[in-house]
Structure 1
Amino acid sequence: MSSIQEQSPQYTRVQYVSLSTQGVITEKIKSQILASSNKNNSKRHITGCLICVKDMFFQIIEGKTDDVENLYTTIVKDKRHNNVVCVDKSQFFNEEERMFPSWDMKSLDVDSLFSAKKEVLICGENCNPLDPAHKRVIETAFSAFTTLMGSLFRAQQVFKNYAQPSVSRFVREGLNPLCIQSVETEKIVLFVDLVNYTTLTEIISQSRSASEIVRILNVFFTIVMEIVEEYGGDITKLIGDCVMCHFDGHDSQKAIDCSLKILQQLELLRNETTDPFEKLIFCTIGISKGKVILGNVGTVGRKLDYTVIGDSVNTSARLQSFASSTQYYLIFDENVKNDLESGDSVIFCGSIELKGKRNTVNAYTIENEYNRRLLKEDLKALYCSVSLEMTYE
């Protein structure tokens, strides 16, 4: 039990960024922070560095875990800055792993450090050697700076997985998503919903853990999202067991082709998988075309969605629900139907009343080998067989 791998780490290193509430960070502000930090940190043996760039604070603090956690809580409440974001929190085992063992807190002037580094690079061997102490400061500063940049990059990679693809794309292109103006535009909206999700979770919960339900959802989402992106669609959000996405207004054919590919891949999964629950993954799809508002919806600082709102969103959701009462997986409206190539075998499903719509909506589908729903008795038999199989596992 004495190996370092079996010990619990006793030390924590926190890296955070924040914005000054007073604009550009002055020497007076830095001096106040350093005076307080050096006094208090030395008592708790917390070390670190502070890098100030215009109105931004970049700080690294390290020490015993409880001390660092308490200090960070105090830092977050400090009125001199806001928008505090912890970009990395890591743990280590002993004193030797500190990045700044001799600094209770030191402010690093990035501009002067870069100037010194640049001078060395330009002069090469012909310039006077730097004072050893100054050289150590520069080396430590660049180590801190590269550590922070690495942490920011990793944080961005994590953020990318939780943000909508369109928002991640704005960030990659150097745009601020908060500054993107809302626009009225024409979109083709898709709702792709997992069939009988409630029944599926009941069957799974009889013999498996909750994580198995999440795994099945992720299998479904992965297939749908990869195909939507392959065909050039934008994923807007995941709503429970449903994927909401959209295509540009002139891409009705792409939306139909994308939907048929999803149905094909799900059938392929059901035929090839040995997992009994994956054999139960079916979906219904509703598609509607029309004018929508595309933009940020929500509250800045709390929760925002870059999404589409409008009648076509509601219609596509209703059509997806209507598909459950038909013998088809895919249902779309007349605006989509009018855009399709003449060779497609379009089938009229009727003029239907949809909740929230004053007028009836003409519903259509397309003849395709993957677009035929199982008969209710066949689907019920499949669910029973899987449930029985679980009983005898």
Structure 2
Amino acid sequence: MATSTTSPTPEAPPATEPAVSRPAITLHGVVKAFRSGSETVRAVDGVDLAIEPGEFFSLLGPSGCGKTTTMRMIAGFEEPTEGTVHLDGKDVTGVAANHRDVNMVFQSYALFPHMSVADNVAFGLRRRRVPKDQIRTRVAEMLDLVELGHRAKHRPTQLSGGQQQRVALARALVNQPSALLLDEPLGALDLKLRQSMQVELKRIQREVGITFVYVTHDQGEALTMSDRIAVMNEGRVEQLGTPAEIYERPATRFVADFIGTSNLVRGVVKGRAGDHWKVEVADGATALVTELPDTVTTGAHIHLTVRPEKMRIGTDAPGEDVSRVPGTVTETVYMGSSTHYQVDIGGGEEVTVYQQNASGSTLVAQRGEAVWLSWRPEHSFALSS
């Protein structure tokens, strides 16, 4: 009798868990306190952050908000009073700055005036006794990256401010740090050059793939370059998100007021109106919003925030499916591509409206003329008063 044999089924290889990348930089409950006379001042007050590998991350806020102190704790120039700092998953709290795998670029370029551009870039490599052939290769690569290969033999004094900033950047990148920290590096440049350098910095960051942490008080810089932004105020992070999230959906009155221009209008929640909430604003006018904070109920006093470019201005009353507020034009300013209107909406409140000049420079309304303002419900957000 014939017999059949069955080959044993090979065992499947064990399943492997997908690799999970660690944050490049993590701050856990970081506090930095200073003594000021008899008082203790918290420059940084309980900051938690996780910055991803290869991310362009900005710390944004006004002077004295704690953003530079936060960066200095990442760099190791300051130690936290409380909390921990991790680099690539390793706790570096208490580790000296020169033993952390990060480099820092300051507003003052601190280039050596007696050295050539190439020697400035090579300085750190020489101190680490990197072989000469590797130094030549890496310096050439960095100067090509910042588009200054043709200036390698020049002295810093022979360069423009923007070129000197790029030399400082190349010098910081040549050591191949895991993260680059930039403390208002464009602050000394004029407006046009600063805007050009914003584009250059983002290009360079994309090409090298290194995590950039950027400190600035300039909202335009942060919005232009960042993957994510932490808006800081009085030592705390008020909001963390993408540029679009920060701009379009500010979480607090501070963020709404600090990022760009935003109108804050007082109102009282009157209840539901179909898919929207109805809010009574100045002189009994009606505004509609799609959602309210969880803590806000009917009868609550709130502030609505709406961006000037989201508003429409006209002399005819709009339909009832939008927010509609009457007012009087108090000022008009022609800006070329747009006209800016100041409008008194009553109750001691004025708002700003940006109207694009798509059909020429004809004014929608003159100063002293009665107008209607309108905006879609999803373009305003309620903030607790």
TM-score (norm 2): 0.27
Bigger proportion of residues as helix: 1
Bigger proportion of residues as strand: 2
TM-score (norm 1): 0.27
